[in-house]
Homo-oligomer: A and B are copies of this chain.
C-alpha cells in the first residue's frame, strides 16, 4: 500500500530493522501489565498453565529436521469431560499471554461451553522463536514464518492435546481468533476441518488482499469514524497535512512544530516531516481500531470512545494553521498521554523493538500483502496510491525477499469460499479492517455479523457494563452457533459409535 509502503521505507531508514507496516492487530507495548486490559472491569487474573510443545521448524520439508518450543497456555477450570469442548485460540502476531489477557470473551463463556481454553502462540512471536535470538537475523532464518507453517503448528498441537489429555480425544474443538488471528482461525477451519468443528473469526480482513476489495476502503472507514465522532473532525485532520507542510517550509517551522507537538526528538530535516505525518496518520488509524466504549488499555491507556475525545479538539472549522497544530497535539496527547505521565511525544513509538514488529514486517513483505491507499478526497489522509513495485523493492531492501501478493487468495480461496462451513465472521462497523472482512452471510453456515458501534474485535474482549447492546447480542449469537456445532459434533459421534 502506498502509505504502508512509505511507512515501511521511512521507519526502516530511520530505525533500521524496526519497520512496521500497518498490522491488523497491533502489538502491546512490552511493558503493558496484562491486567489493565480488562478496562473498567474488576481485574480478574485468568488461571492458566504455561506449556510448551516441540514443533518441527519446517512442516513442509524434510531437509531441516530441527524443532523448536512453541508456547501455549491452557486453562481447564471449567472444562467438563462429559459434553465439553475445547476453545482453541489461534495466536497472532504477538506475545500469547497478552492476547490471552485481551480475549476475555473466551474466559467469560468457558463455563457455559464446559470448555478447556487453549491459547497457542504463533511461531516467531513471544517466546516461540524457531531459532532463538537468531530468528530474525536474515531471510534464511525467517523462511519458516508463514501462515501455512503456523496452521500446521496448530494442527500438531491439537492432535497432541487430543492424544495426551485423557477425555479430550472425542471432544469438539473450535478455533477462535481476532484480526490476523481471526484470519488464521477461518483458514484453519478451511484447511483442517477434520480438527476443528468451526471457527469464530473476529475482525478478520481475509479479503484485504490483491484486488479483492478496493485499496481505499480502509482509510475511508477510519475517516468515517472521525467524521461521525464530532463536527469538523475529519475535515480538520484532512487540512492538517497541508498546514504541517506550510509550517515546515517556513524558516523556524521545524522548531515550531517540534515544540508545538512536544516531540522528544526535534525535527531537523524535511524527511522528518514525512515521518511525522506518517506517525500522526498511524495514530488516527490506531484510534479508529481501538475506539472502544469504555476505558481500555489495548495499545495505550485510553478513555472511553477515544475518537470522540480526540474530535473535541477539532470542533471549529478554518482555524489558523498554528492553532490547528496545537489542537493536533491535544488530540495526539489523548492517545499517547492519557495517563498524564508522558513528558514528550516519541514519533518512533509505533516502531517498538519488540519481536512482534519484526515478525509482522516480514510477513507483510511476503504473504500478508494488504494493499491500502488514500486519495485525500474521500478520506482525510494525504493521497497515496498503492505501488506494488515500490512496495516490493522496499521489502527486498529490508528483508531480501519479495512479496507474492496473489498467493494468499490462491491458497485460501479469495472470495470463492462457499464450499466451507461453520465459520462466523464478526466485524465491528467502526473497525477499518472491516472493509476487508466478510460482512454478509455467504451461506447458511458461513455467517457474517456486523457490530454497529464496534471497533476492532470488540466481541472477543471481556464483557463490560458499558458494552453496547450490539456486542452483547453478537456474543450471544456466537455462543448459540458454537453450541450448535458442539451439539452436531456429539450427534455425529453417537451415530458413529
Which of B60, B159, B492 makes the CB contact (< 8 A) with A60? B60
Any chain B CB within 8 A of the CB of A194? yes
Chain B residues with CB under 8 A of A193 = 413, 419-420
Q: Output the nearest chain B residue to A401 by Cβ-Cβ distance.
A: B62
Q: Which of A457-497 contact B (CB under 8 A)?
A: 492
Q: Are B155 and A411 in contact (CB under 8 A)?
A: yes
Q: Are A404 and B62 in contact (CB under 8 A)?
A: yes
Q: Are A61 and B194 in contact (CB under 8 A)?
A: no
Q: Are A401 and B65 in contact (CB under 8 A)?
A: yes
Chain B residues with CB under 8 A of A419 = 193-194, 421
Interface membership of chain A positions 133-157, coded 1 if the CB is closer than 8 angstroms to chain B and 0 otherwise:
0000001101110101100100110
- Given A401-B65, A402-B65, A194 and B416 contact (CB-CB distance below 8 Å): yes
- Given A62-B139, A142-B63, A159-B410, A191 and B194 contact (CB-CB distance below 8 Å): no
Q: Are A61 and B413 in contact (CB under 8 A)?
A: no
Alpha-carbon distance A64/B146, docked complex (angstroms): 14
Q: Are B410 and A155 in contact (CB under 8 A)?
A: yes
Which of B63, B410, B413 makes the CB contact (< 8 A) with A156? B410
Min distance, Cβ A315 to any Cβ of chain B, angstroms: 46
Q: Are B366 and A417 in contact (CB under 8 A)?
A: no
Any chain B CB within 8 A of the CB of A266? no
Alpha-carbon distance A61/B367, docked complex (angstroms): 9
Q: 14 A–B contact pairs at CB < 8 A?
A: A56-B404, A60-B146, A62-B139, A62-B366, A63-B140, A63-B401, A64-B143, A65-B401, A148-B148, A152-B410, A155-B411, A192-B413, A193-B413, A194-B417
Residues on A lying within 8 angstroms of B by beta carbon are 56, 59-65, 139-140, 142-144, 146, 148-149, 152, 155-156, 159, 191-194, 366, 400-402, 404, 406-407, 410-411, 413-414, 416-421, 492
